[in-house]
Amino acid sequence: MSRLLTAAFAATMLQSAGVALAQDAYPNRPITIIVPAAAGGPSDTVARLVAQSMSSTLGQQVLVENQGGAGGSLGSGAAARAEADGYTLLLYHVGVATFAALYPDLPYQPIDAFDSVGLITEVPLTMVARQDLPANDIDQLLTALREDGDTMTFGTAGVGSVSDLCGMLLSNALDTEMVVVPYPGTGPAMTDLLGGQIDLMCDQTTNTAGNIETGAIKGFAVTTRERVPLFPDLPTVAESGIDNFEITAWHALWAPKGTPEDVRQKLSEALVTALHDETVIDRFAQLGTVPVADGQATPDALDTLFRSEVERWTQLIGQFTAPTAQ
């Protein structure tokens, strides 16, 4: 009888241990991706596509929570302060690489506050203008900017936004100033461009494709190294003679610093799976972009890119007067 009781007790203990291990396995509850921008924008669109696929892979719901403000630095700060357990993540674009230069008093430094999970996509930007702007091609536009740039209005989605960075690159390349008009997002800026209230802007293909195709705005060039399949007739800015003019709205996924390595690798694997999801691929194509290659959707690859982008934008922003936080 004693042996039977001992065996039964041992079996019970093993079963309990198995249950405990199963309960502790990551993930065992929903995961939240913080997007530090308004719902409906490019980052939000990318996040929701990726989250849906990752939910299926991880077996837990992956939720998207929008926390905008201060160019994305507020929502990113919330992610940085979250517990490093893999249940709160950050998804945003190249703007994260500008926070240290734009907001020197931030209570965190992005390069030290996050662990990389992986790059997601590099969304091209298009240089666009109001429909009745006299210039008809990129060469004419650049000539007009060189001659009368200080009278032309350039809309941005606010301090540190991708459109703002594109404007800085343009001003620096042409050695000219423009009248920068900051908006609380790309939506309001595009509304005013459509209404002819501003002259031009840089914006992601996710926002410009439909309006270019209908002729509601003029498309002049793309800011990538090569032409974009969605707009085969639009030249690159570099084709107009401006060397090294390249910017994309790359989007990436991070976790708070100190996230366990096995958790981070599991998230990275789920991200790679999402980037092979046909729904994600098809939707990205409609937005003028593609998922990155598997080798880029890794923690190490994102670490390398992130550090180089922080250095690049810190140097460029340092050439301009520090803007006031929005």
Strands 88-93 and 248-256: antiparallel
Q: What is the mean pLDDT of residues 195-224?
A: 93
Q: Which pLDDT score is estimated for 19? A: 37
Distance CA 146, CA 142 (A): 6
For 220-279, how does the pLDDT look when each residue is reduced to its tens digit (9 = 90+)?
999 998 898 888 999 999 898 898 889 998 999 999 999 999 999 999 999 999 999 999
Cis peptide before 256 (omega within 30 of 0): no
| Whole-Å CA distances, 170 to 14, 161, 234 | 66, 14, 17
Q: Stretch 153-181: mean pLDDT, rounded? A: 91
Q: What is the pLDDT, as a whole number, of residue 15?
A: 47
> Measuring CA to CA, which residue among 59, 66, 14, 61 is closest to residue 42?
66
The mean pLDDT of 132-158, rounded to a whole number, is: 94
Residues of the chain above pLDDT 90, percent: 67
247 vs 12: which has the higher pLDDT = 247
On average, the pLDDT of the chain sits at 88
Query: DSSP class of residue 171?
Result: H
pLDDT in tens, 117-135: 999 999 889 999 999 999 9
Q: So what's the pLDDT on residue 250?
A: 94
36, pLDDT greater than 70? yes
Residue 286 has pLDDT above 70, yes or no: yes
Backbone conformation region of residue 252, classed left if phi is above 0, alpha if psi is from -120 to 50, else beta: beta
* 50 pLDDT above the threshold of 60: yes
Our CA angle for 208, 210, 212, nearest 5°, is 65
What burial letters (b/e) apply to 141-166, b meaning 16+ CB within 10 Å?
bbebbeeebeebbbbbbbbbbbbbbb
pLDDT class of 145 with cuts at 50, 70, 90: very high
The partner residues of 201 in beta bridges, in order of sequence, read 128, 155
- pLDDT: which is higher, 131 or 323: 131
Q: What pLDDT is stored for residue 3 in this prediction?
A: 53
State the DSSP code for 178: -
pLDDT of residue 38: 79
Taking the C-alpha atoms of residue 259 and residue 52, their distance in angstroms, rounded to an integer, is: 22
Q: What is the mean pLDDT of residues 295-315?
A: 93
Distance CA 206, CA 223 (A): 14
Given CA atoms 261, 74, 247, 101 in this order, what sign does their dihedral have? negative
For residue 103, pLDDT over 50 is answered with yes
What pLDDT is attached to residue 324? Answer: 44
Confidence of residue 209 (pLDDT cuts 50, 70, 90): confident
What local confidence, expressed as pLDDT, does residue 23 receive?
40
Q: Would you place residue 24 in the very low, low, confident or very high pLDDT band (cuts 50, 70, 90)?
A: low
pTM for this prediction: 0.81
pLDDT of amino acid 1:
46
- Strands, E, within the chain: which ranges? 31-35, 62-66, 88-93, 114-130, 153-156, 179-182, 200-204, 217-222, 248-256
